[in-house]
Amino acid sequence: MSPRGPFTPISEDVRAESLSTFMAARPNRAETWVFAYGSLIWDPCFAHVERRPATLKGYRRAFNIWTVLARGTPENPGLGLGLEAGDEGCRGIAYRMDPARRHDGLKALWRREMFTGVYRPLWLTVDVDGKTPEAIAFVVVPGHPQYAGALSRDATAQFIAGARGQRGSCRDYLARTVDALAEAGIDDGELKDLLARADAGAGR
């Protein structure tokens, strides 16, 4: 399986309408939480006043989207993380956005995560120290051409090991996610195994 990139970005107007419609349905107008499961853990693009480990039930994190710009190229594609249905749940970080800077933060978040429309933003309940706020979570859209689907672990590691794009290597994206999770007290054995396989395949 290979990507059908490059992938066309959605327009600024469509992106702005998506954000407006989504926030109009927000369940809590006093607070805005964001659930981070990949690069947002170690590279959030918005101001926040709280950062805590969190669990999202009913979903799992997986390298299931093609990246042919940020961490790869059309000729040498990489893989990025997306949320998809999974009984094991996903452990990550919940951020409470700075209410005084929420407008700019949301615009930056939408520019980054809603660049091509491979993600669908949802309000999902996360567990944060026994509290259960509704948080923004970006879930992969299986019908989008950027969706990679289910790849074997070895194939996933091979793509990760060899890809580099405008924002650096795919391998470093994985390694920084593993490190950031560990710093938060979260041990993701699957991601650690992928990193070991990627390093072995790259001859590190």
CB hemisphere CA count around 171 (13 angstroms) = 17
Kindly name the residue from 113, 134, 183, 190 that is annotated as catalytic. Answer: 113
User: Based on the number of CB atoms within 10 Å of its own CB, is 12 exposed (0-12), middle (13-18) or buried (19 or more)?
Assistant: exposed
User: Based on the number of CB atoms within 10 Å of its own CB, is 176 exposed (0-12), middle (13-18) or buried (19 or more)?
Assistant: middle
One-character DSSP codes across 165-176:
ETTEEHHHHHHH
17 is catalytic: no
Q: Are 126 and 56 in contact (CB under 8 A)?
A: yes
Q: Which residues are the active-site residues?
A: 113
